[in-house]
Each structure stands twice: as C-alpha cells, then as structure tokens.
Amino acid sequence: MIRLGLVQTNSTGDYQKNLEFAHAQIRQASNEGLRLVAFPEMFLHLGEKKEEKLKIAQHLDGIIVQTFQEYAKDHHISILMGSIYEPVPNSNHHLYNTSILIDSQGEIQGVYRKIHLCDIDSPSLKNVESKNIRPGTEIVVVDHELGKIGLSICYDLRFPGLFQNLRAKGAEIIFVPAAFFLQTGKHHWLPLLQARAIENQVYIAAPAQWGWHYGDRYSYGHTVLIDPWGTVVACASEYPGIISGTIDLDYLARIRERMPVMEHRRPEYYL
C-alpha cells in the first residue's frame, strides 16, 4: 500500500505566495507519512502576462527546481512539480510546460514536456496555448520506487492514444496535473479521468487548480485519485489544500489478471 497526496491550489501571479503555500503542503504531507506529494499544472505561477511567464521560467538546474529538490531531501518525500515554465533553447518567445518528478533523495527522476497544447475557440472559451508554449516530443514513464509512473499534463487527457502508450510502456500510476477550465471541466474532467483509468487499468492521480485566478480565468478543481476500476478514491472539496489516498498495486495486478485487456487488443484494426 502506498499513500500519496494530491494538492489543489488556487495559484496566482504571486510566485512567493504560491511557493510558501506549496512548501506548507509538503510539510503537511511529510508529517502525515505520505510517500509522494503532487502539485497541479502551473502551481507556482498562473498569471495573465506573457512577460511574467518568461521572467519566472527556469531551466532544470535553476533555483526553483533546486529548491524543490531540497524540500524533497529535507522532508524525505517524493515531489511531482505538476508543471513549471521552462525556457526553450534558442527561443526568446516560447516556453515548455514542464512536469518534473523528484524522488525522496532530491534527485530528478523524470521530466515531461506537455505534448498536446490547448488551443480552443468556442463561444464560452477561447485559449491559444501554442502562442507561448512549444510542445514536447517525448512520452515519459519513470521506474520510481513507488511503482511505474506515467506523466501527462492537463489537455493531454483528451488524447487516449497517449495514455495507451503510457500503459504499454508499463505505467501503473499516471499523473494528470491540470489547470482545467471551469467551462469544460464541469462537463468533461471526471468522465475523461475515469475513462483513462478504466480503459488502461491504471491509477489516475490528478492534482488540479481551483477557483478564480485573474480576469475571467477560473479553474474547475476537483483534484482526484481514481483507481483502475474507475472508482473515485479521494476527491477535493471547493478550496485549496491536500487530499490523500492509497495506491494498491496488488489490487491493480488482480484487475489486470482477471480482465487482460492489453492482451485482447487488436491494433491492426485501429486507425
């Protein structure tokens, strides 16, 4: 049995305030004996201005990542930095949306750059993530001490092929740190997460942004842990904070043994 924590944040453009909140959640998770604590997408900065994003962006050896490596060592806990802005080499205008998995010794175990970018033009929601963000190109599964961990970010959730690939590469737990818009989240967030858990027979761990951030930017929240049968193990209420739940890899193995869907696949008939 593995107990992990998922943090729901209400991040703004105030980096220092967001950092202090994150550190408090790490201390709480460590005090509760949790093995891993995961944060949402853009948990250290969710602001409106492109100039602020470029200013806060950090390379993997920058002070922000180093700070969380120290937190992991000091509190003896693994940390998923849901995502931060990372500079793109040879570009002054684009960033990566990057998720970083740090183990309890403070070592970086996995780095994932968001592959699918959220460009939407609908009556209720307009967003062009590709204006500032460059897509990643690598699918990431980490052989972590807690199990085989697959990494994704937010809008990736809408692309089942990615999750099928993560499962094929051995993923047992897939993280989906997100800042899902309120307009779409209230209709799609939980159904999509449960579908990805059921069809791939994995645990889905989805730490999320919640509430108002700036202007008309609201996040849906509902940070959630879902088991491979599609059952909601834990779900956050309507406020920032941490929830915890248990990962049972023996239970996961039994589900896969009793219904071996990966063996039943017939990809020659799929597009």
- How many angstroms separate the CA atoms of 186 and 163, rounded? 22
- How many angstroms separate the CA atoms of 197 and 96, rounded? 26
Strand ranges (E), the chain: 2-8, 36-38, 78-87, 95-102, 108-113, 119-121, 126-128, 141-144, 147-151, 173-175, 203-206, 210-214, 217-220, 224-226, 232-235, 241-247
Respond yes or no: is residue 118 known to be catalytic: no
Catalytic residue among 41, 53, 86, 118: 41
Cα distances (Å, whole numbers) of residue 17 to 13, 20, 44, 222? 9, 5, 8, 22
Respond yes or no: is residue 114 known to be catalytic: yes
Respond yes or no: is residue 154 known to be catalytic: yes
Catalytic residue among 86, 118, 148, 154: 154
What's the half-sphere exposure (Cβ side, CA atoms, 13 Å) at 106?
12
- How many angstroms separate the CA atoms of 20 and 22, rounded? 5
Closest listed residue to residue 155, CA positions, set 227, 83, 244 = 83
Catalytic residue among 53, 114, 118, 172: 114
Catalytic residues: 41, 114, 154
